[in-house]
Chains A and B, each alone.
Chain A
Amino acid sequence: METSRGARAVPKVRQVGFFTPNPPTPTRTQSVPPESTSPPISDSPAVMIVPPRHLSDNLSLRTAAVPVPESAVRRPTRADHVALVGSYNPSESLFGSSSPPAFSPVSRIGDGEFSEEASSAGLCRRSNSAKFASSLPSRGFDVTAVRRSDNFAAKAGREQIKQAKGTEKSVNAVAGQQYEPLSSSKPLKAKTTKAERRALQESQRAAKAAALGEGNKSATVSGSAVAGVPVRQPSQKKDGDSHNHPVAPSIATPEKKGGDRPIEKERKKDAPPPRMQFDDKNRVEKAKRRSVVNPTEVRNRVELFQHLPQYEHGTLLPDLESKFFQLDPVHPAVYKVGLRYLAGDIIGGNARCIAMLQAFQEVIKDYSAPPQKTLVRDLTAKINSYASFLIECRPQSISMGNAIRFLKSRIHNLPLTLSESEAKATLLSDVDRFINEKIVIADKVIVRHAATKIRDGDVLLTYGSSCVVEMILLYAHELGKQFRVVVVDSRPKLEGRALLRRLVARDLCCTYTHINAISYIMHDVTRVFLGASSVLSNGTVYSRVGTACVAMVANAFHVPVLICCEAYKFHERVQLDSICSNELGDPDVIAKVPGRLDVNYLDNWTANENLQLLNLMYDATPSDYISMIVTDYGMIPPTSVPVIVREYRREHLLI
């Protein structure tokens, strides 16, 4: 019971985005044992009287009766109550065995994490109970409770002064006797880590739900459960955590679940699966067990981006390479693409998507459905496993995600009457069509559209290396337009150099600069052409890191920013910042400067705990900075993206 309480009271808070670097857990847990070792003070009788009240209590009343103590009220009382904290511990053991229902503060102390706040909250509830009573919805019952707790408060106060006298003395003695075993058990419990407690909590919650779902068979069991849970309410409420429901709803949930399961299922289908949060240790462990590529996580990760996967890039490739022959289930073509993703041989949304689709074409060519399995199901499972392999090699781009979704929907919609060879031929031609229509022809259309925006004498700026922008520039040059190109680049990838090389080879007049000089070079520029990894439905452009900077500077200089992006890369997601979804690159590449061995200040940076390197791959450009998005459906303002996503999604999936 004690353990259950300890585990239960930990609210499941998933920390994403901004939070304090050091979660309070460790310090708090350590703070408990000293408190518990403090000599038992005499106000344990206060606790002693309480349980009957709780026993008689009714669950619904209890949950309602839990007021959220105002912090202002709580504060002043806190100081003297902290001293009391220790005193509850013996009582806990005293009554923990004899009377299952425990008084709220006791139970809260049982959990190491919230002991301080919890005890103060509980105490203030008693001492200020008159105040709360007025705010209680179900007053009829609580008045009595309040009266009692008034008694406790008075008693507690008295006892604090007297330090155990009269009848309390005997209790105290008992407490003292009971204290011995407790003190040995207490620190043990305090040592359990957060993860352990969470695991315990999960298992016990499940067990409890099962037990309760069966219908309260034995009065004692249900009584203890009922009494145990509401007791925890104050502390949970106080934490402001909404998903710690009282037990009553949790009892109800099993039946409820049965009722609306189909609805939930449908909803699940509609909603994209939740992204993996890599700061959730349990899930990461699970994912690791499944994964083919054995990633070792980078040690000092930047706090803000802990939810993103970041692995030791050095070890990944050799590890995967050495397993070349062990990975029988992975098709060689897929394996090759995965290797090339991992090694960075294929970069860019279009190229990655094309490479992946071509590998899948190979898969489909070599595929034959095993006996007693249908092609539709088995091939979908295969594609799924290959896709997850590729994602392990490198987090998937949105273009890849959309293409996978397309392929799966095509497989799913295959008529059952088709023979295997026909089905394969259909799929192959579908993939070919997707590549042709959604990428190749779309690029051509974009090039035509964008070229109309290039006039003689323009100075065009582009950032990084986008294959569409490159085509636009080359096409405009072929049309005989007179313009100059500024290629802006940034470390560590220096992708712009490859673009520059190809442009100069075609006799375009180019200027090459790094992003540091963007504000100087922007004076001359008349148009900014940028590529994108994706355009989200709120008009945010998700692209190579640095794009946002270029767009903002251009906006400040009143230079129009044109985003060139194929419509198949559009996504219905809404993203406001570049934190919650991003990709982390190898931090070593920003620590090392190629060709400059003397720049070695960041060697051994992993050894320094205070140093974290951040190599973000993407950023989100707000739609305010974007003048126009050039897509295969025409030139649209960023506000029209959701229209394209909505209207063409179906067509896009069907083509």
Chain B
Amino acid sequence: MDFQVVVLAGGNSKKLVPLVSKEVPKALLPVANRPVLSYVLEQLEASNLKDVIVVVEGQESALLVGPWISSAYVDRLHVEVAAVPEDVGTAGALRAIAPHLTAKDILVVSGDLVSDVPIGAVAAAHRRNDAVLTAMLCSSPVSGPSDSGSSSGKDKTKKSGHYNIIGLDPSKQFLLYIAAGADVEKDTRIQKSILRSVGQMEIRSDLMDAHMYAFKRSVLQQVLDRKDMFLSLKQDVLPYLVRSQLKSEILLNGATQAEESGNEKANSQKNHVLLSEILANASLPSFHELALGPYGSGHVRRTHKCCVYIASGSKYCARLNSIQAFMDINRDVIGEANRLSGYSLSAHNNIIHPSAELGSKTTVGPHCMLGEGSQMGDKCSVKRSVIGRHCRIGSNVKVVNSVVMNHVTIGDGCSVQGSVICSNGQLQERAILRDCQVGAGFVVTAGSEYKGESLARKEK
């Protein structure tokens, strides 16, 4: 279908410290014991998109991501891993790999997207409208553990900067305005020309930009070439294209037009105009054509279309871009959105690897996952948590709403609530953690009690 896929896998996000480290780049963070990047890649594979360019920030991260991809998808996908320097931004990353882009349209997907929205639908909407840009929007997820009402309310107020403000036309097909909620402090400016030609604009803040975009390649490359200040797709390129859609500065098909006038007679040119007029009259005019005015008077204004694809509410769509999101996604993937993980639930609605060992009187509740080779002592209780591979958990341990990665040792009598314990972490006896993040290899001393802290080893 002439689409090329670019997965922006990111590097070491500052937002996710201490979860990410030099050993674990963002793309390899485990979601239900699978790297988060695998969700995107598998979604692409299911959509029959086998040629993928994965862009990783930082050489070191690329050296980690590359071998993992090649081992996991050796026969299934044709993946090229490209490393770009850190801090070039998403636009910079695309600029760096621009020579590799050849297809008519480019699909840019963020590597931290966990969703089951059909990618084809975005591409189809893009093609159908002949758009320059199509962005996928989904309803913003309710963050925070859903069972504790008070904390979710608190989270919402805390996360107020994460929503987007999105302006749509009445048919909900075209993107008229986009801004990150954080950028809009008190007021914002909407262009009069767009508003006038559309007539009605719907401004919504309940939609989230899923960071899945379809671009027309020629346009994307023109924008990237001309505006070398642009760093981020979302903050620079997207608003620019949306802003300029009625007075487009990019050449859409200038080359073909020149060619036609060169070797065809004026008569056939006239017929061509007539033909396109018939076609244009047949379809309902979008506001772009209306803005031009009927039978554009001499001066031709160029327009381009920015479309949106709004995922239906039944689909799961989330981005792993914060620690809270990391926990939410882990919880959802083994819970309500378990179709994403590909694991089949047991009769108790949980996933326990056959090689995992449970002590006597140990209970593993629904929506839990216990990885391969993990051992649990007696009288433990696990609720709504993911426990990775080869963990050793002592007796009388409570793990609630938490993510425990691989090779973690938890001593007897510990209590872990709402926390993330990274690989090789160690909790000595009777440690109590609540809403904490324990970095890789960190040792929590016996009997200590932490609440809402980020614990990591000091960088040497």
A residues within 8 Å of B by Cβ? 318, 320-328, 332, 335-336, 339-340, 343-348, 350-352, 354-355, 435-436, 439-441, 443, 465, 467, 470, 498, 501-502, 505-506
Contact B294–A324 (Cβ < 8 Å): no
Known: A321-B118, A501-B294, A505-B294. A440 touches B275 (CB 8 A): yes
B71 at the interface (CB under 8 A from A): no
Q: Name the B residues within 8 Å of A325 (CB-CB).
A: 1, 3, 47-49, 119-120, 123
Asked if B118 contacts A347 (CB within 8 A), the reply is no
The answer to whether B127 touches A335 (Cβ under 8 A) is yes
Write 17 A-B pairs (CB below 8 A) sorted by A numbering. Answer: A318-B121, A321-B118, A322-B124, A324-B47, A324-B127, A325-B120, A326-B48, A346-B282, A347-B282, A348-B281, A350-B282, A351-B279, A436-B271, A467-B282, A470-B281, A498-B284, A506-B294
Partner of B271, one of A322, A346, A440: A440
- B283 adjacent to chain A (CB < 8 Å): yes
Contact between A324 and B120, CB atoms less than 8 A apart: yes
Residues of A within 8 A of B281 (CB): 348, 351, 465, 467, 470, 498, 502
Chain B, Cβ-Cβ closest to A342: B128
Complex Cα distance A505/B49, Å? 47
Q: Is the CB of B120 within 8 A of A351?
A: no
Chain A, interface SS category: helix
Residues of A within 8 A of B312 (CB): 318
- In the complex, A502→B284 CA distance in Å? 12
Interface residues of B, CB < 8 Å — how many? 31
Q: Which residues of chain B are near A352, meaning CB under 8 Å? A: 282
Q: Are B3 and A343 in contact, CB atoms less than 8 angstroms apart?
A: no
B285 within 8 A of A: yes
Shortest Cβ distance from A308 into chain B, in angstroms?
Answer: 23
* B317 CB to nearest chain A CB (Å): 14
Q: Are B285 and A354 within 8 A (Cβ)?
A: no
A440: nearest residue on chain B (CB-CB)? B271
Residues of chain A contacted by B295 (CB below 8 angstroms): 505-506
Write the chain A residue with the least CB distance to B294. A505
Known: A332-B1, A439-B278. 12 other contacts (CB 8 A): A321-B128, A322-B118, A324-B123, A324-B127, A325-B49, A336-B128, A346-B279, A346-B282, A346-B283, A350-B278, A435-B275, A467-B282
By a CB distance below 8 angstroms, the chain A residues around B52 are none
| Nearest-Cβ distance from residue B276 to partner chain A, whole angstroms | 9
Enumerate B286-311 residues with CB–CB distance to A below 8 Å: 294-295
Distance A378 CA – B294 CA, assembled complex (angstroms): 44
Question: Chain A residues with Cβ under 8 A from B284's Cβ?
Answer: 344-345, 498
Q: Collect the chain B residues with CB atoms within 8 Å of residue A467's CB.
A: 278, 281-282
Cβ–Cβ contact A332 & B271, under 8 A: no
* Residues A321 and B282 in contact in the complex (CB < 8 Å), given A440-B271, A501-B294: no
Q: B282 to chain A: which residues have CB within 8 Å?
A: 346-348, 350-352, 467
Query: Is B2 positioned at the interface, with any CB of A under 8 Å from its CB?
Result: yes
B125 located at the interface, meaning its Cβ lies under 8 Å from any Cβ of chain A in the complex = yes
Shortest beta-carbon contacts, A-B, top 9: A324-B120, A351-B282, A322-B118, A505-B294, A321-B124, A321-B121, A324-B124, A325-B47, A348-B282
Residue of B nearest to A330 (CB): B1
The contact of B128 among A345, A350, A465, A501, by CB within 8 Å, is: A345
Q: Shortest Cβ distance from A162 into chain B, in angstroms?
A: 68
CB contact under 8 A between A355 and B118, given known A321-B124, A436-B271, A440-B274: no
Question: Which residues of the partner chain B approach A443 to less than 8 Å between Cβ atoms?
Answer: 274
Q: Which residue in chain A gives the minimum CB-CB distance to B312?
A: A318
User: A439 CA to B284 CA in the complex, in Å?
Assistant: 21
- Min CB distance A439 to B, Å, is 8
How far is it, in angstroms, between the C-alpha of A467 and the C-alpha of B281 when the chains are bound? 8
Q: B128 contacts which chain A residues (CB < 8 A)?
A: 321, 336, 339-340, 343, 345
Q: A325-B119, A505-B295 are contacts. A351–B127 as well, Cβ < 8 Å? A: no
B346 → chain A closest CB, angstroms: 30
**Which residue on A lies nearest to B127, using beta carbons?**
A336
Q: Which residue of B lies closest to A327 (CB)?
A: B1
Which residues of chain B (80-110) have a CB below 8 Å from chain A? 104
**CB neighbours of A355 from chain B (8 A):** 279
